Amino acid sequence: MSLITKAVRGTQDVLPSESYKWQYLERTLIEYSKKYGFKEMRTPVFEHTELFQRGVGETTDVVQKEMYTFTTKGDSSITLRPEGTAGAARAMLEHALYNQGLPIKVSYLTSCYRYEKPQAGRLREFHQFGMEVYGAEAPQADAELIVMTGGMFKRLGLKNVQLEINSIGCGNCRKHYHAALKEYFNGYREQLCETCQSRLDKNPMRILDCKSPVCSAIAENAPKILDFLCDECKTHFESVKSYLDIMGIEYTVNPKIVRGLDYYTKTVFEFITKELGAQGTICGGGRYDGLIEELGGKSMPSLGLAIGLERVLMLMDTQKVNIPDDKACELFIAYIGENAKKKAFALAEAVRNEDIYAEMSVSEKSLKAQMKYADKIGAKYTIVLGDDEITANKAKIKNMNTGEAEEISLDAEIIKNML
């Protein structure tokens, strides 16, 4: 009989042989962020479509081309989250977390959904670890977020990860920049893709982020935002760089970084690698001082980032980073006969209560088949129970690596000390 269906294109299953790597990565990121005061937030997988239209930006590729949007039975427009920041900001406002004192630092592990052409490192369902800081306007907040992220990658054992930074200014200096971009791109209007032609009047900066080879080539010689920064934005950016310099953080100023979402202002940054081909950005983030106000809240300077978990795991695999193996079975209890089966059942539970990973056969298998299974799952020790062992309340515990066996009492604490 053939399978009813397979996984939807652009999604992937995480099997038991790989899930421990995800757990290690997630655990490392969460624990590292706690040292900086970040606490976990969990938001729904779908939100009202308007949230992303207003927050992410109607002229972005994400909103125009990639969102999974549907109409509910109640005739509401709902969208699967294409990124985590807008939902986290909505939750912060809805629950008035700002009353707890600023700055607010939240982190999240989240699945995101974008309709894109699936390829290595770019799936339609993907996962991110995100961090958001609300109510922090000082440049040291930008630097701290960047330094922390670099520290995370070092903790994971990653190498050859480069930091690129830029400033895309505030609303005031971007008015002059937009005017310069319009003048430049108008000279190539007919060569631009249809999407970028519509962007030219609405938000010409989005053209810089276009994936079309033609548009990308035209954008190469476009005016640079750093030449249009107002004094405040210039001072902020220089201060961010000075904090990175103090910490000895290597970085490259890349004026082409604009990020793909409209809510960014001032500092933007990416951590990239050349070892993953086209999908070399493993982390992106920056400041978004206007987002909270755009979503209906009071003006609140904020910033954040997102780390692509699939890409980080790909890089760890490429670089052969050592990930601690998943915990193997410490004790397998085999049995012969009905009474021994009941004793094995009770003993397995008793040693688990002593924080030991223990298994017994939950199928009606012969002793030979039970021992074969114990070998397959890599059990470190085995005990075989029969009538004699039950009567004596003793059994031999065997080290499966050395073959050595020792008789011990069938007491959970004694077994724990033996292991």
Nearest CA-CA partner of 147 in 345, 285, 292: 285
**pLDDT for residue 260 is more than 70:** no
What angle separates helix 171-186 from helix 194-202, to the nearest 10 degrees? 140
Task: Quote the pLDDT of residue 261.
Answer: 66
Residue 342 belongs to domain with CATH number: 3.40.50.800
**pLDDT for residue 63 is more than 90:** no
Q: Are residues 279 and 402 in the same domain?
A: no
Q: Which of 291, 318, 345 is where one domain is finished? A: 318
Q: Are residues 156 and 52 in the same domain?
A: yes
- Dihedral sign from CA coordinates of 194, 195, 196, 201: positive
Identify whether 198 is part of a domain: no
Overall number of domains in the chain: 2
Q: Are residues 309 and 339 in the same domain?
A: no
- pLDDT level of residue 202 (50, 70, 90 thresholds): confident
Task: Quote the pLDDT of residue 198.
Answer: 85
> Residue 306: CA atoms inside 13 Å, Cβ hemisphere, count?
19
Q: Are residues 247 and 378 in the same domain?
A: no
Identify whether 160 is part of a domain: yes
Sheet holding 358-360, edge to edge: 358-360, 331-335, 381-385, 394-399, 405-409
Q: Are residues 312 and 377 in the same domain?
A: no
What residues contact residue 84 under an 8 Å CB cut-off, 6+ apart?
Answer: 43, 108, 110, 112, 128, 130, 306
Tell me the per-residue pLDDT of 15-58, one tens digit each, with 9 for 90 and over: 999 999 999 999 999 999 999 999 999 999 999 999 999 988 87
Q: Are residues 254 and 123 in the same domain?
A: yes
- pLDDT level of residue 264 (50, 70, 90 thresholds): confident
Domain range spanning residue 389?
A: 331-418
According to DSSP, the residues that pair with 356 across neighbouring strands are: none
Three-state DSSP class for residue 353: coil
Sheet holding 302-308, edge to edge: 39-40, 104-113, 125-134, 302-308, 281-287, 265-272, 162-167, 252-253
Q: Are residues 55 and 153 in the same domain?
A: yes
Hey, what amino acid is at 366?
S
Q: Are strands 162-167 and 265-272 parallel, antiparallel or unpaired?
A: antiparallel
Identify whether 187 is part of a domain: no
Residue 248 belongs to domain with CATH number: 3.30.930.10
What percentage of the chain has pLDDT greater than the value 90? Answer: 81
Average pLDDT, the chain: 94
> Residue 37: CA atoms inside 13 Å, Cβ hemisphere, count?
10
What residues contact residue 277 under an 8 Å CB cut-off, 6+ apart?
Answer: 120, 121
Quote the tokens at residue 250.
Answer: 């290597």
Task: Quote the pLDDT of residue 259.
Answer: 75
CB count, 10 Å around CB of 283? 24
Q: Which of 293, 318, 343 is where one domain is finished? A: 318
Q: Are residues 313 and 375 in the same domain?
A: no
Identify whether 1 is part of a domain: no
Residues 365, 371: Cα–Cα separation, whole Å: 10
Q: Are residues 146 and 290 in the same domain?
A: yes
Identify whether 75 is part of a domain: yes
Q: Are residues 126 and 252 in the same domain?
A: yes
**pLDDT for residue 1 is more than 70:** no
**pLDDT for residue 171 is more than 90:** no
Q: Which of 270, 289, 318 is where one domain is finished? A: 318
Output 71 or 59, whichever has higher pLDDT: 71
Identify whether 325 is part of a domain: no
Identify whether 403 is part of a domain: yes
Task: Quote the pLDDT of residue 32.
Answer: 98
Q: Are residues 235 and 351 in the same domain?
A: no
Identify whether 119 is part of a domain: yes
Tell me the per-residue pLDDT of 82-136, one tens digit each, with 9 for 90 and over: 999 999 999 999 999 999 999 999 999 999 999 989 988 889 999 999 999 999 9
Residues 344, 342: Cα–Cα separation, whole Å: 5
**pLDDT for residue 322 is more than 80:** yes
H or E element that contains 17:
helix 16-34
Q: Are residues 236 and 362 in the same domain?
A: no
